Amino acid sequence: MDDFLRESLHRSGYIADEALATTLWLAGELQRPLMIEGDAGVGKTALAAALARAQDRRLVRLQCHEGLDMSQAAYEWNYGRQLLAIRLRETSGQRAAEADLFSREYLLERPLLQAISSDAPCVLLIDEIDRADEAFEAFLLEVLAEYQITVPELGTVRAKHVPQVVLTSNGTRELSDALRRRCLYHYLGYPTLAREIAIVRATLPGAESALVEQAVTFVQALRREDLAKKPGIAETLDWVRALHRLEFKALPEDPHALEASLSCLLKTREDRFQFDAGRVRQVLEGRRSVGVAEKAAQAV
């Protein structure tokens, strides 16, 4: 069945390898959250979006950040509407009952409660969980273990349909053992040369084959350099798209012709400063020598 899921993801624009597709399928079958860890730009967030498209489900996204609390992640009361209701009751000579004010119609649903109370199965993306603090992790345990949220004024809200949960982490801090125990785990690294070429071809079918192969090989070589921020798949796609718009059929021999477009790949001052035309030429020559070696090996 993971082959079917893999094909569905492919049709939705995401090329997953067998290990990732199998882990994702198991997470769905076991109704367990899937934690995906890896560097920024390797396709963690894109996987959740593609999964929602492949299964024709709604994507509910919670973007984590420092200081994230329950009112932003789960729910909060609409105090403005509650105050208005109190005043309307008072003008009509009635007294507002507490039970009337703390009902679902006055509850603002944030991503976690939206996913739990969804009338149809959905995909819940908890993005960059490592940016949130440990207190939020502790609150999240109830949601991930029981698929429920306790609202003191209302009681426990249980999931009508268990959402497929995907958590992503860039590894900026260590996550708790309690959170990891509740999840299946997959480490997503940078794609292989063949997989990244396939990703670019699927996303940019109009780009010339030689350009795609040479550009991806260049980016793969660039990631082996001492960079402050290695280019991810999104950067590769931006660069190939830019080269295609510049009407390149293949990477030019002259590194000066590439300098302006490197803004798609190099995103810090330090990285951009160290990659002058000479350094770009070295990477280009390394790419071409690797290409010659690969052809020689294939000939043998």
176-212: pLDDT as tens digits: 999 999 999 999 999 999 999 999 999 999 999 999 9
Crossing angle of helices 193-203 and 233-245, rounded to 10°: 50
Question: pTM value?
Answer: 0.85
Give the per-residue pLDDT at 155: 87
Vertex 74: Cα angle to 73 and 76 (nearest 5): 105
Helix or strand or coil: residue 51?
helix
* Residue 297 reports pLDDT greater than 60: no
Mean pLDDT of the chain: 89
- Spatial contact of 116 and 148, defined as CB atoms under 8 Å apart: yes
The phi, psi pair for 254, rounded to 5°, reads -85, 115
Which stretches does DSSP call E strand in the chain? 34-37, 58-63, 75-77, 107-109, 122-127, 148-151, 155-158, 164-169, 184-187
* Residue 288 reports pLDDT greater than 60: no
43-77: pLDDT as tens digits: 999 999 999 999 999 999 999 999 998 889 999 98
- Spatial contact of 140 and 126, defined as CB atoms under 8 Å apart: yes
Q: Which residues pair with 77 in a beta bridge?
A: 107
Least confident of 32-46, 68-82, 123-137, 279-293: 279-293
* Residue 103 reports pLDDT greater than 90: no
- At CB < 8 A and 24+ separation, what contacts does 2-10 make? 2/26, 5/54, 8/54, 8/55, 9/47, 9/50, 9/51, 9/54, 10/202
Give the per-residue pLDDT at 298: 38
d(CA 198, CA 260) in angstroms, rounded, equals: 26
